[in-house]
């Protein structure tokens, strides 16, 4: 497993993101990724991606994240396994895409660059990921259909943030800590909360699919 996170200050009147907050999100998930840590900030300072790495497929530094596309338009932070990435890699290579790593991350990024959100229909695996598009100034976030890989998100006065673990988000001062009593009761009774609910009213789970 890896740990992923992001802050996106998308509201027009919002200041640039707090880089220290992004680092706190990342380091709160250190146990998910003991093999490396990375971060990336958009040129306008309004979107930041973070990653804690557990290296499995490509063990070299070339597979580190956040990872950029060859043209620099797209940046990805990704947690998961794409089981059919070798077949997708061969398909993309035959279409003229050049790869510089052996990672499924680079395959996923290239597939998104070609197909956009439609790439999800081609993926066999478990995943949570986000891709920043520097041209559209848009952050795309997705989770696998079974919801195996976790992803928690919150909206604040300035924008949007997410992480693989709820505890990483509560380190951000703008995220309210009011308890959701219904979700808390579900968690205590069943060790699980249904739907989008979490123990905090301000934090939701991205639903599977």
Active site residues: 2
Residue 138: other Cβ atoms inside 10 A? 12
What are 126's two structure tokens?
A: 């478990």
What are 59's two structure tokens?
A: 């063990």
- Match 């707090």 to its residue by tokens: 18
Q: What residues contact 94, with CB distance under 8 A and at least 6 apart? A: none
Q: What residues contact 65, with CB distance under 8 A and at least 6 apart? A: 2, 4, 38, 51, 53, 76, 77, 78, 105
Residue 151: other Cβ atoms inside 10 A? 25
* 8 A C-beta contact, residue 49 and residue 9: no
């Amino acid at each position: 497993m890896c740990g992923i996170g992001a802050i996106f200050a998308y509201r027009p009147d919002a200041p640039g993101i707090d880089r220290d907050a992004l680092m706190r999100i990342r380091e709160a998930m250190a146990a998910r990724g003991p093999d490396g840590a990375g971060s990336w900030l958009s040129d306008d300072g309004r979107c930041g991606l973070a990653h804690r790495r557990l290296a499995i497929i490509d063990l070299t530094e070339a597979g580190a994240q956040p990872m950029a596309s060859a043209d620099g338009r797209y940046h990805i932070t990704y947690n998961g396994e794409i089981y059919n990435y070798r077949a997708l890699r061969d398909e993309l290579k035959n279409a003229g895409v050049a790869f510089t790593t052996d990672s499924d991350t680079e395959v996923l990024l290239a597939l998104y660059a070609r197909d956009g959100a439609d790439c999800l229909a081609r993926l066999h695996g478990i995943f949570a990921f986000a891709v920043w598009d520097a041209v559209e100034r848009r952050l795309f976030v997705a989770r696998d259909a079974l919801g195996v890989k976790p992803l928690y998100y919150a909206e604040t006065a300035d924008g949007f943030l997410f992480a693989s673990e709820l505890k990483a988000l509560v380190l951000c001062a703008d995220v309210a800590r009011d308890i959701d009593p219904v979700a808390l009761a579900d968690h205590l009774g069943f060790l699980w909360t249904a739907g989008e609910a979490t123990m905090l009213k301000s934090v939701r789970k991205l639903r599977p699919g």
